[in-house]
């Protein structure tokens, strides 16, 4: 066994001990899917995620992330794939990758640094960089080329034995390592489960995602009011969405569960959340409660916007007191979503609250939401 083979063996063993479930190596070459990425951006499917267009050229070749890159290690890090429990009234669903309550970047980055350390200790003059979806890198194509799986029709990487409930990460290095075979076969066949199940019709074509219609994008990345036509499709999703994964046949027998290794012993029960209480806390308390969790990305205004839409979709009269608080929130975004939700719940109390706020409200967007809600109740 030569030195490079021993290095790969050491890296692979370390990756397994660190909790990664898949490991593969591919050469750092120009990305074949780069033209498709450009077409996707030009079609407007990236929505408000301007970082794609702003770093567009860097996606073309991995040396846009690490100058002189020759090899890329693709890694899969699994997360909880258990079935979600039934929701009670006033609760909202959260995507499975957030159930630990921890930011996966904080979990995975130190592990990548350890793998980078192995590389630089082997070759002190070498370069190495670990990436978890924060750099302009086409991770899914890299993972496919490294043999980890194939791109599903819902755009997620699929693996026959592990489904799609895993994060992708990469380690780039200027060391030329032995490469693994790419995964050139597709195993979706004629299945359309993910495409047909999407509540907001976010797939204009197999393998193409219109992020502006995706529940995950709308509840996490989108900063403004969610389009009225898409609100009912949000259903009970407070943050993220798993629908296209839950219906995938390759996820019918999930082999992964959250483990101490995967969460560093800090896992919390975060699979659902009581939404009504969120309207009772201010900015500072929200910060203290969620600053270290993935929910912080949407900030308080985004989470309460989402919470109002979920409560409106549930149409329970018991949600009205929380929505009344939302209707008087300091954030216009929250007031507008709460007005819409009260219109969905309906009833005399909701109507009276809306009429009362119609007199005092000055924001034109919120006024529009109140009038829409009142007309809904009247119908």
| Cβ neighbours of 331 (radius 10 Å) | 19
**Is residue 136 left, alpha or beta, with left meaning phi > 0 and alpha meaning psi from -120 to 50?**
beta
Per DSSP, the residues of 345-362 read H-SHHHHHHHHHHHHH--
Known catalytic membership, residue 67 = no
Cβ neighbours of residue 347 closer than 8 Å, sequence gap 6 or more: 317, 320, 377
Q: At what angle do helices 332-345 and 348-360 cross, to 10 degrees?
A: 150
d(CA 113, CA 291): 24
> CA separation (Å) from 166 to 19, 77, 262?
11, 5, 11
d(CA 123, CA 311): 56
> For the purposes of burial, counting CB atoms within 10 Å of the CB of 371, is it exposed (0-12), middle (13-18) or buried (19 or more)?
middle
Which residue out of 133, 196, 201, 274 is catalytically annotated? 133
Continuous segment of H or E residues that includes residue 340: helix 332-345
> Annotated catalytic sites, by residue?
133
């Amino acid at each position: 066994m030569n030195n490079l083979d021993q290095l790969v063996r050491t890296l692979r063993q370390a990756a397994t001990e660190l909790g990664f479930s898949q490991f593969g190596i591919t050469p750092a070459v120009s990305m074949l899917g780069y033209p498709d990425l450009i077409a996707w951006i030009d079609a407007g499917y990236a929505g408000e995620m301007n970082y794609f267009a702003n770093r567009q050229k860097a996606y073309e070749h991995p040396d846009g992330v690490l100058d002189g890159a020759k090899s890329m290690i693709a890694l899969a890090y699994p997360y909880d794939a258990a079935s979600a429990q039934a929701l009670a009234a006033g609760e909202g669903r959260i995507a499975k990758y957030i159930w630990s309550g921890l930011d996966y970047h904080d979990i995975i980055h130190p592990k990548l640094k350890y793998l980078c350390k192995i590389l630089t200790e082997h070759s002190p003059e070498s370069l190495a960089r670990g990436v978890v979806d924060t750099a302009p890198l086409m991770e899914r194509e890299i993972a496919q080329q490294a043999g980890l799986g194939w791109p599903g029709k819902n755009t997620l990487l699929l693996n026959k034995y592990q489904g799609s409930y895993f994060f992708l990460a990469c380690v780039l290095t200027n060391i030329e390592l032995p490469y693994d075979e790419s995964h050139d076969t597709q195993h979706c066949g004629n299945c359309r489960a993910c495409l047909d199940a999407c509540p907001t019709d976010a797939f204009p074509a197999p393998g193409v995602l219109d992020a502006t219609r995706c529940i995950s994008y709308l509840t996490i990345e989108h900063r403004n009011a969610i389009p009225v036509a898409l609100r009912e499709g949000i259903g009970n999703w407070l943050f993220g969405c798993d629908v296209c994964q839950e219906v995938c046949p390759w996820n019918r027998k999930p082999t992964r569960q959250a483990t101490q290794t995967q969460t560093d012993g800090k896992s919390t029960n975060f699979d659902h959340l009581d939404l009504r209480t969120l309207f009772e806390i201010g900015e500072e308390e929200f910060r203290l409660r969620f600053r270290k969790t993935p929910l912080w990305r949407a900030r308080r205004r985004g989470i309460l916007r989402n919470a109002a839409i979920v409560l409106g979709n549930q149409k329970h009269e018991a949600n009205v007191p929380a929505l009344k608080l939302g209707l008087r929130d300091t954030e216009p975004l929250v007031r507008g979503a709460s007005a819409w939700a009260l219109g969905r719940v309906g009833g005399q109390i909701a109507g009276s609250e809306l009429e009362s706020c119609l007199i005092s409200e000055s924001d034109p967007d919120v006024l529009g939401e109140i009038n829409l809600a009142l007309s809904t109740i009247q119908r």
